[in-house]
Amino acid sequence: MSEQHRLEMRHGAHLLLAKVDPNDPASPATWSRYQEILPHIYDAELTDCTDLWARQLVINLFRFLYHWGDHEGALSLAERAAKVWTADREQRLVRGEELVEDPPLLELKASEQVAFFYWVVGRYDEAAKVAKQTLDRYTDAIGSTREETLGAQLTYALILKARGDFSEARRRNGEIYVNARGLFGDDDPVTLVAAHEFIVALLLTGEYAEAHELAEKTYSRRVEIFGFDNVDTIGTQVLLVLARRELGDYPLAKIEMERIAERAEQLYGSDSVGTLRRRYYQSVSCRKDGDHDSALELSSEALRRFRIRYGNSHPNAMACALGHSIDLRHARMFAEARKLGEEVYNLYRENLGENHPHTLSAQLDLGVTLRLGGDPASARVVDEKALTGLSAKVGEDHPHTIVCGINLASDLFALDRVEEAVALDADLFDRARRVLGEDHPTTLAVQLNRSLDLRAVGQTDEANALYEDVLTRYRLVLGENHPGAESASRGVRADCDIDPMPL
């Protein structure tokens, strides 16, 4: 073929490929079609095509790769598309030719997805740079009120969460949600995405009741509009169950998360990132509900598959490893729990930074393992640092800060610094009741510990009254057979874990 003939035939191939685009990359029902198309895009150099339908196919292909679980592949294709399309536009401007698209919305969408995929694989500095550049370009090109710009704003808010600035992310996500409702209405897909991201922010700031209320509304709307098996519907359902879990409804959270995980496996397969993530959440729900054997089995298998597919430093793999280290501790495998806990703490430090709330949560969980493994002195040092960091990053009244204080008080008690434990638990008991309510499991934990503190310093009457009350509440809230209730009946101090919320 002559070069011109070759280019014409290649363009014909581009158009043929674009014609068979199902245009629904999030749906597992279309994945086999995208898998058929994918090998051709490289041989046919589809990213070089200037046809808008062909460019939309490229965007759908890297979105398919993301949902399918090939995150590095999605990033690589998105980077190539953004680079080629930007270069094409710049060359046309220099030559004074007509632009393929003005404003270049598909080019900007590719750039926005590059930022998102950087975030997905944990390359947060690069994600921040690209997200800010893309948001500025969207604003300059089409203004701040278009749905495309709101999408770029949501992507930038993800970066704030990755940096650990939860309060600022909550503020921005709240503003985006309000703006979307005003511009597009409650049922518009853009508004529902904004609502979903606002729920994530509320979970990160510890506002579980508010997150639960919005998650219920958003989930119901997504069911009505997209159906039960839509990937976004299931994503919001997961947040709803996480909110219920953090509000202390462990039995229902366990049942619902098991159903979600089973449905995800039916839809996406056992090795998909969506299924593995939900199996990890299921393991946490089992642990919270006292089913430690199932939790250990689930987190072990999920972690094994996460690491095979994504490596140790992938954000999902790190969260699962942290959960598995806690499950190992509950199984009294302290050496293994400490080894994995130290490993995942170091991974969080390397990937998120020393003072990120998730890093501090991993530090706190390691501290509990150290104390229960026989080293309360080291645990106290670790937990004091975590408490200082969490107080500064998320505030003294954040549930995770309260949990950290509970464990530090137990460190002090184990070191015979009982008066310090008494004072700390008194403050924590007041805060837990105010922030979480009298019947929340975290509040029950600190009430139990406070009763044991008071008994140790001879304040028997108050200690007994608190103890009898908390035993009754444990049985009502968790059930008589829950390990927490059984330990409380034996007068064993309660320990608390932190499982970081998804970013």
* Backbone φ/ψ region at 311: left (φ over 0), alpha (ψ -120 to 50), beta: left
Is 478 within the bounds of a domain?
no
Radius of gyration of the chain (CA): 25
Which helix (H) or strand (E) segment is 11 a member of?
Answer: helix 3-19
In order, the DSSP letters of 43-76 are HTTGGG---HHHHHHHHHHHHHHHHHT-HHHHHH
SS (H, E, C) 382-402: HHHHHHHHHHHHHCCCCHHHH
| Positive/negative CA dihedral, 158, 259, 273, 107 | negative
Nearest Cα neighbor of 329 from 382, 303, 285, 367 is 367
DSSP code of residue 101: S
How does the average pLDDT of the chain come out, rounded? Answer: 95
Is 269 within the bounds of a domain?
yes
For residue 204, give every residue at least 6 positions away whose Cβ sits within 8 Å of its Cβ, in sequence order, or none: 161, 166, 169, 170, 357, 501, 503
pLDDT tens per residue, range 103-136: 999 999 999 999 999 999 999 999 999 999 999 9
Is 312 within the bounds of a domain?
yes
* pLDDT of amino acid 6: 83
Q: Determine the Cα–Cα distance for residues 426 and 413; give it in Å rounded to an integer.
A: 13
Residue with tokens 């310090």: 420
Is 315 within the bounds of a domain?
yes
Nearest Cα neighbor of 119 from 178, 86, 78, 87 is 78
What's the total number of domains in the chain?
Answer: 1
| Burial (Cβ within 10 Å: 0-12, 13-18, ≥19) of residue 430 | exposed
Is 286 within the bounds of a domain?
yes
Q: What CATH number should be reported for the domain holding residue 257? A: 1.25.40.10
Would you give the distance in Å from CA 197 to the centre of its chain? 11
CA 339, 340, 345 angle in degrees (round to 5)? 105
Chunked into runs of 10 residues, the chain (503 residues) has average pLDDT values of 84 92 93 93 88 96 94 96 96 93 95 96 94 96 95 95 95 97 96 98 98 98 94 96 97 96 91 92 97 98 94 93 98 97 97 96 98 97 97 97 98 97 97 97 98 97 97 95 95 96 90
Q: How many angstroms separate the first and last alpha carbons of the chain?
A: 52
- How many other C-beta atoms can be found within 10 angstroms of the C-beta atom of residue 182? 10
Is 187 within the bounds of a domain?
no
What is the domain extent for residue 306? 250-342
Is 259 within the bounds of a domain?
yes
Is 276 within the bounds of a domain?
yes
Q: Determine the Cα–Cα distance for residues 179 and 185; give it in Å rounded to an integer.
A: 9
Q: Determine the Cα–Cα distance for residues 120 and 72; give it in Å rounded to an integer.
A: 9
